[in-house]
Structure 1
Amino acid sequence: MEKKQVEILAPAGSWDSMKAAVAAGADAVYMGGSRFGARAYADNADEKELVEAIDYVHLHGRKLYMTVNTLFKERELKDLAEYMRPYYLAGLDGAIVQDLGALQELKTKFPGLELHASTQMTITSLYGARMMKELGCSRIVTAREMSLAEIRRLHDAVDVEIESFVHGALCYCYSGQCLMSSLIGGRSANRGRCAQPCRLPYTVYERSQPQKPLNQKHERHVLSMKDLCTLDLLPDIIEAGVYSLKIEGRMKRSRYTAGVVRIYRKYTDLYLEQGREGYYVEPEDRKELLELFDRGGFTSGYYHAHNGREMLALRAKPEFREGNPRLFSFLDQTYVEAELKEPVEGYITLEQGLPARLTLRSGKRGVAVEGQAPKAALKQPITRETVERQLKKTGGTPFTLTRLTTDIKGELFLPVQALNELRRKGFEALQEKVLEPCRRNIKGYPATEWAETDRKQKSRRGNGAKPKPSVSLALQMSVSLEDLAQLPPALACKEAAAIYIDAGAFPPESWKETAGRCHKRDKSCYLMLPQIFREHAIRYFKTNKALLNEAGFDGVIIKALEEVQWLREAGVQLPFKLDASVYGWNTRAVGVLAQTGAKSLTLPLELNVRELEPVLSACSDFGIPAELMVYGHAPMMVSAQCITRTSEGCCQKPGSLMLKDRTGAFLPVKNHCAFCYNTIYNPSPTSLLGYEMEVKALGVYGIRLAFTLEDATQAEAVLDAFSRAFFYGETVKVPYREFTRGHFKRGVE
């Protein structure tokens, strides 16, 4: 299939949306199957429908990418190969993937299938792009927050296709880093089940003054982003190196899909044909996009701005909006209800005693079929008009006979039924001919050989499974700190074997002293890197690289996978551990993470105790120890937006606020100014006090106490309670009023 200069990629949450997108001019669609897609509540296709959709787009010279962009539990990963097999054979053009284990599975078992790193992977720099390319991805779907300058640097440095969002809904949180819906109601955004709590109203308060609101009543939707519209930026986006212009909207109607694709087709073609000089956006087209969906106006997103209140739909969306029936009717008739047909040229020869012969050609593909032989006409001979009328009845096919050359030698008779059969046979053959180069033969990887591949993969972990650690395994306790005041109680706790300090909260000039203080107490000291590793972080560590190398840290804590690549390229020779935000949900994912050289990994926050068992078994097999967070306010959202800037204006000083939701709960917010992102924390800390035996039975090597918002007194009380419970078997009183067990027992859908 010929590759275009720029690709318009449309959402297809249903069969009708897929057809509408193709009719409106999309070069490709992305679509989910019945499982494993990040839009679990869309009208996703079943196997038969999706295979037919793959055929449909290929018949019209387009492509289909399948969304497999969720995190996989172990039992689900075992089903992935058989689930994907029919789509691969049908000629699926690519798979959009989040989970590292799923990525490895598809790479191993489906040779030649394009793998696209989902925006759920939170790729925000060229370092992440390089890493994904090494793992087998040919395309990077950039984080929505990346600027044009960052995308341009990625394009210049890494030979991968770049796909970026140009229209549709924006998440408040970096995609792949949101646990808010999960922690509130068990509906994980990493599993395609987001309940969209960011669209609800919140009141903003200072932590010290929870009675005085900072935002007005009519501007309480402080987490609700306006929809993205980039018509004015299309030349900039294309010139920055973006190949695939992605439209969001698999949950929206087919009419919306058609309308948005139509307009972006128009302006993409305008730029490609006339360049910047001839590029002009008509106001009527902006208005039309708003009539299709309006959350409170459009934003051009993060392409030229890091954040800002102008990107937010702060006011409540009106319950009723008057539609545009004329526009809707036009879109329905022109695209949604349209039957798209590919032009075909034909040639038919009729000669007495010889089989009727029909040749059909569509583009570069052609076929010839034969039918019943004509006889000499006794009464009324067959006419050219009759032949053309019957052969042009192509209603049930994706073709239309635009030109037919008819060669009738003499006065002949051929039943109309024979002409109809010849037409059916010809167009069926043509359809198969057009689809033939798209379809695959999987002889090299039949199901029987997949089992052998799995066995070899398992054998590479080691010579058989290692014994599972006993419940009497001596635990190590680590303590992570996000405030200077938390350091003294951590140092005073003899059971704390390792201290992790936040790179933004602890000034670089204090790193060496802090590491030294830890070492004097026989504790290892690690520097926690930021959860988002973009230009702010890159500049920060470039400026302070000498201080990092001289600090004497025992290692660093990786919160974003792309930081592993940065360590390599920056020449920072320090061991590293992986935090829970680097997802290892299944055995294959653990294998990929082990190959990075990580010293340990932190177990996922969304898996329950039963689902953690195979992950821990894989950790043992691959020789990578696992740590479990047993206390801490879990990060629910990590955002490029800033609540402080939205409410009061940018102060460029780290601090914290509170968001009050509709139930009266207060959600703490911290702004990490060194790296310019916000974290919204779960108001109740996760606590596994009382579950000491269950935790030890899992066989983890370490437990983590994560301090974020606690003062010195609170940190000391928590350290004392967990030390006595986990190391001395004492029954202790929980030193906080409210807490949650997180997902340790319940897990997520």
Structure 2
Amino acid sequence: MVELLAPAGDFEALKAAVLNGADAVYLGGKEFSARQEAGNFDKNEIVNAIKFCHAYGVKVYVTLNTLIKDEEMERALEYASFLYEQGADALIIQDYGLLKLLKENIPDFEIHASTQMSVNNLEGVNFLYSQGVKRVVLPRELSLKEIEYIAKNTQAEIEVFVHGALCISFSGQCLFSSILGGRSGNRGRCAQPCRMLYSFDGDKKYILSPKDLSTIDCIDKIVKAGVKSLKIEGRMKRPEYVATVVSAYRKAIDGIADEKDKEDVVKIFNRGGFTSAYLFDNIGPEMMSYENPKNWGVYLGKVVGKKGKFIYIKLERDLNIGDGIEVFGKGVGVPVNTIYDEKGAEIKKGQKGEIVKIYFEKAQIGDIIYKTLDIKLIEKARKSYEGKDVKKVPLLGRFKATLNGMEFEVEGSKKVKVTMDGVEKAISKPTTKERIIEALSKTGDTPFYFENIDVFIEDNLMIPISKLNAIRRQAIDELLDKIQGKRDKVNINISFKNKEFKVIPKIVVKTGRMDVALASLKSGADLVFFGSDLRIDKGDIENLLEYKEKVFPHFPDVIIEEYDFYKDKAKRLYALGFKKALCGNLGLYKDLIDIGYEVYLDKSFNILNSFSTLFLENEASYLSHELNMGELKNLISNTDRKTMVFVYGRTRLMISRHCIIGSSKGYFKKSCPNACESKIHYIKDRLGEKFLVVTDYYCRSHIYNSKKTIMLEHIKDLLNLNADYWILEFLEEDKDQVESIVYAYKDALLRGINKDFSLSKKAKEILEINKNNITKGHFYRGIL
């Protein structure tokens, strides 16, 4: 049976999800959650959430899906052990180091791999399953055919998103918010720069803002594909949203959703309609909400007149007092507090086809008005999880009282029996069965109601109402405790491996261009990782066979339909004598190991702690761009594996399966003139910063920082890290610039080893040329 998985940003949303038909909910705690701006749950609330959900037979998955620093890891493990002990059904995680420690410390805890892990092919899914991961959440970028292929060829459970906001970037591979403002999406603090206005060739629009995903019309196809869980996004959304969307998808799964349910989903939140994303095709511009990145609501009508601060609207749908309305595209709106008919008489409701007068000072004749809040829908949603008529769980009760005391047995999904004294001989009026049933049936705001209570009581007994209330409360509390599913306490053991020796770092270049590779070697680079599917890169590593002791293949981060191509290429290159490789993809990693490569892990593995360097067999790990100097030094000292740090180049901010250039320019697919071929494009933000956009041969977009990281002035700090490799990444530089830059770093390194931290003439020239285009990234600021 397929699972409907719903978001819960707070307890009200959790109730909304459960009472509208969710089979499971996912929620976050106050720490280590990828939605830090949601209300989230403290420890006591998590316990109550587990009790509430388990009472309804609903599972609880807790998100611990952020990257974790070394100094936080013990606290994260203690939090995970708390969740396990309290009966949480599964943990959703992103961090590879945490996965390693969880399997060592709490091996029975069910683990789900977050979409933030960026596992985008069958091989990656199967590898995680072999490491003890029960379920993998696939990227939103996959097609239905790709999902079906994975689901039907793995023992792992597969979870897919079916509704809610889309990231334009592959999740886990976006540093846009992090690099620009220090708010890391990998730490749950994304500032959503993708929802900002950008210009491309002078055309300003919301280039990076997709519509929300909706699959309510094709749920049957997704279920047929073999997925285990259908996930609704929305831990930042209000409870009314959760109630409305969960209810509609519950009905869709059960085959009873109608047009009214689908209309409600549109009304509660949409960004100019919905998209099926990449499920059936890469639809390019049709996926995007170029005009407005926020909730559009539904079209209400046009302003046909204005008098003072009041406007006249020709209604295309009903309008109620309490609705919220907005001028499309202007970001100004008002609540509807009073409605007048065309003649000025106050009315309770405006109906489709009528002209009504309402207060809206900032609206003008000709403006298009949207209804962004439908009060009737909000009231309907609230009614589903508030008030007296909400769904409750039936219980059976058996009550027995004698002069020696009373017992109350309560049975639901579990059974408890409570005994208590307090029974007395009646002096005048004995307590009746009816009075006992009335007192015991008052379950209040608990999840339960009594379907039936059998009562046996000896004659002529009196039981105080306070005692009946007490035994009822105790029985229900004990039932909730039993339903909670507490587990035995676990002991956490965590220790670091120490790197006690000093190293002399090697200069490593990462490129996909032949001229850059040769220029790097000429200037003294110790290693070159060569390979790229970017259209601007030219060259084949097979032409560098004579340098196979210094040049090694690089395999990309996202590998989907091209998997067999890269696997075959890896086999061919190994046979030619290339024995080492830089790998960015978890699925291909396993094949590279099996082929016999010594594997270097690329930065796409998001290595933020020393335990992540130990999770996979590797020659060295490229450490995250999100670590500052102190954190880098700490991590490097805490592992006995080799490490690589970034010292020059443009940080890639995101990778997207969406073709930004073709979609934005109005041509796409068959009509595409390959404008991106061998050319870098730029998008510009409101501050005038220009971000490089490069496409690959699979029409994915790679966006790079507007500024270059250049660390030539900080060689002393770099040496103090004790990293094994310094990485220089080249993108648009010509071979002469590459020669100068590699030489400058090589020279600075040799000087630094001799305690000479002065800058060479070449280094000064590089800094001068780039003086308005330099960043230190996170080296001195880091992320929260």
Find the residue that maps to 2:428 and give its secondary structure: coil
Aligned partner of 2:711 in structure 1 is: 688
2:558 paired with 1:532: yes
Q: How does 1:452-491 map to 2 (within 5 A)?
A: 453-454=493-494, 458=496, 465-469=498-502, 473-491=503-521
* Counterpart selection for 2:393 from 333, 339, 342: 342
C-alpha distance in structure 1 between counterparts of 2:221 and 2:380, whole Å: 31
CA offsets 1:460-510 (integer angstroms, 9 cap, x no match): x5xxx45330xxx433211111334424422421x1121222242599983
Q: Does the 8 Å CA contact 1:391/1:419 hold for their aligned counterparts?
A: yes
C-alpha distance in structure 1 between counterparts of 2:720 and 2:470, whole Å: 70
Alpha-carbon offset, residue 702 of structure 1: 1.9
Over 3 Å counting, the alpha-carbon distance change for 1:510 and 1:291 in structure 2 is same
Q: Does the 8 Å CA contact 1:94/1:114 hold for their aligned counterparts?
A: yes
Q: How does 1:306-317 map to 2 (within 5 A)?
A: 306=282, 308-316=284-292, 317=294
C-alpha distance in structure 2 between counterparts of 1:33 and 1:325, whole Å: 31
The structure with more helix, counted as a fraction of residues: 1
Q: Does the 8 Å CA contact 1:639/1:679 hold for their aligned counterparts?
A: yes
Q: Does the 8 Å CA contact 2:659/2:701 hold for their aligned counterparts?
A: yes
C-alpha distance in structure 2 between counterparts of 1:84 and 1:554, whole Å: 39
Aligned partner of 1:580 in structure 2 is: 603
Q: Does the 8 Å CA contact 2:512/2:538 hold for their aligned counterparts?
A: no
2:774 paired with 1:745: no
Aligned partner of 1:601 in structure 2 is: 621
Q: Which amino acid aligns with 1:224?
A: S
Find the residue that maps to 2:68 and give its secondary structure: coil
Alpha-carbon offset, residue 439 of structure 1: 0.8
Aligned partner of 1:501 in structure 2 is: 530
Aligned partner of 1:561 in structure 2 is: 586
Q: Does the 8 Å CA contact 1:532/1:560 hold for their aligned counterparts?
A: yes
CA offsets 1:294-319 (integer angstroms, 9 cap, x no match): 11210012222245111111112443
* Counterpart selection for 1:232 from 207, 210, 217: 217
2:137 paired with 1:137: no
Q: Does the 8 Å CA contact 2:5/2:22 hold for their aligned counterparts?
A: yes
Q: Does the 8 Å CA contact 1:367/1:433 hold for their aligned counterparts?
A: no
* Counterpart selection for 2:22 from 23, 26, 34: 26
C-alpha distance in structure 1 between counterparts of 2:778 and 2:219, whole Å: 43
Q: How does 1:360-379 map to 2 (within 5 A)?
A: 360-367=410-417, 369-375=419-425, 377-379=426-428
Q: Structure 2: where are the runs of 5+ without partners? A: 295-327, 334-369
* Counterpart selection for 2:383 from 333, 339, 347: 333
Q: Does the 8 Å CA contact 1:654/1:672 hold for their aligned counterparts?
A: no
Aligned partner of 2:321 in structure 1 is: none
Q: Which amino acid aligns with 1:541?
A: Y
Find the residue that maps to 1:302 and give its secondary structure: coil
2:431 paired with 1:382: yes
2:658 paired with 1:638: no
Find the residue that maps to 1:327 and give its secondary structure: helix
Over 3 Å counting, the alpha-carbon distance change for 1:222 and 1:354 in structure 2 is same
TM-score (norm 2): 0.84
Q: How does 1:166-177 map to 2 (within 5 A)?
A: 166-177=162-173
TM-score (norm 1): 0.87
Q: Does the 8 Å CA contact 1:530/1:559 hold for their aligned counterparts?
A: yes
Aligned partner of 1:670 in structure 2 is: 694
Alpha-carbon offset, residue 366 of structure 1: 4.5
Aligned partner of 2:179 in structure 1 is: 183
Aligned partner of 1:612 in structure 2 is: 632
Q: Which amino acid aligns with 1:481?
A: T
Seq. identity, %: 34
Q: How does 1:55-70 map to 2 (within 5 A)?
A: 55-70=51-66
Structure with more relative contact order (C-alpha pairs < 8 Å, separation 6 or more): 1
C-alpha distance in structure 1 between counterparts of 2:500 and 2:396, whole Å: 69
Alpha-carbon offset, residue 368 of structure 1: 5.0
Over 3 Å counting, the alpha-carbon distance change for 1:66 and 1:91 in structure 2 is same
C-alpha distance in structure 1 between counterparts of 2:146 and 2:278, whole Å: 11
Q: Does the 8 Å CA contact 1:371/1:421 hold for their aligned counterparts?
A: no
Q: Which amino acid aligns with 2:509?
A: V
Aligned partner of 1:122 in structure 2 is: 118
Q: Which amino acid aligns with 2:637?
A: S
* Counterpart selection for 2:744 from 693, 705, 721: 721
Q: Which amino acid aligns with 1:404?
A: I
Q: How does 1:314-463 map to 2 (within 5 A)?
A: 314-316=290-292, 317=294, 318=328, 319=331, 320=333, 321-322=370-371, 323-336=373-386, 340-351=391-402, 353-367=403-417, 369-375=419-425, 377-435=426-484, 438-442=485-489, 445-446=490-491, 450=492, 453-454=493-494, 458=496
Alpha-carbon offset, residue 362 of structure 1: 1.4
Aligned partner of 1:257 in structure 2 is: 242
Q: Which amino acid aligns with 1:65?
A: Y
Find the residue that maps to 2:540 and give its secondary structure: helix
Q: Does the 8 Å CA contact 2:92/2:114 hold for their aligned counterparts?
A: yes
Q: Which amino acid aligns with 1:657?
A: H
Over 3 Å counting, the alpha-carbon distance change for 1:331 and 1:492 in structure 2 is same
Q: Which amino acid aligns with 1:564?
A: Y
Alpha-carbon offset, residue 428 of structure 1: 3.0
C-alpha distance in structure 2 between counterparts of 1:201 and 1:748, whole Å: 24
Over 3 Å counting, the alpha-carbon distance change for 1:433 and 1:717 in structure 2 is closer
Q: Does the 8 Å CA contact 1:525/1:554 hold for their aligned counterparts?
A: no
Bigger shift: 473-482 or 601-610? 473-482
Q: Does the 8 Å CA contact 1:508/1:547 hold for their aligned counterparts?
A: no
Aligned residues: 689
* Counterpart selection for 1:245 from 205, 208, 230: 230
Aligned partner of 1:275 in structure 2 is: none
Q: Which amino acid aligns with 2:469?
A: N
Find the residue that maps to 2:384 and give its secondary structure: helix
Aligned partner of 1:656 in structure 2 is: 680
Aligned partner of 1:592 in structure 2 is: 615
C-alpha distance in structure 2 between counterparts of 1:557 and 1:434, whole Å: 49
C-alpha distance in structure 2 between counterparts of 1:422 and 1:499, whole Å: 74
Aligned partner of 1:295 in structure 2 is: 271
Find the residue that maps to 2:507 and give its secondary structure: strand
Q: Structure 1: where are the runs of 5+ without partners? A: 206-212, 271-279
Find the residue that maps to 1:658 and give its secondary structure: strand
CA offsets 1:508-565 (integer angstroms, 9 cap, x no match): 983321233x35xxx61111111201112x1432564665345443422111222212
Alpha-carbon offset, residue 75 of structure 1: 0.7
Find the residue that maps to 1:382 and give its secondary structure: coil
Q: Does the 8 Å CA contact 1:667/1:680 hold for their aligned counterparts?
A: yes
CA offsets 1:261-309 (integer angstroms, 9 cap, x no match): 1111111122xxxxxxxxx753322221111111121001222224511
Aligned partner of 1:86 in structure 2 is: 82
Bigger shift: 422-431 or 188-197? 422-431
Alpha-carbon offset, residue 419 of structure 1: 2.7
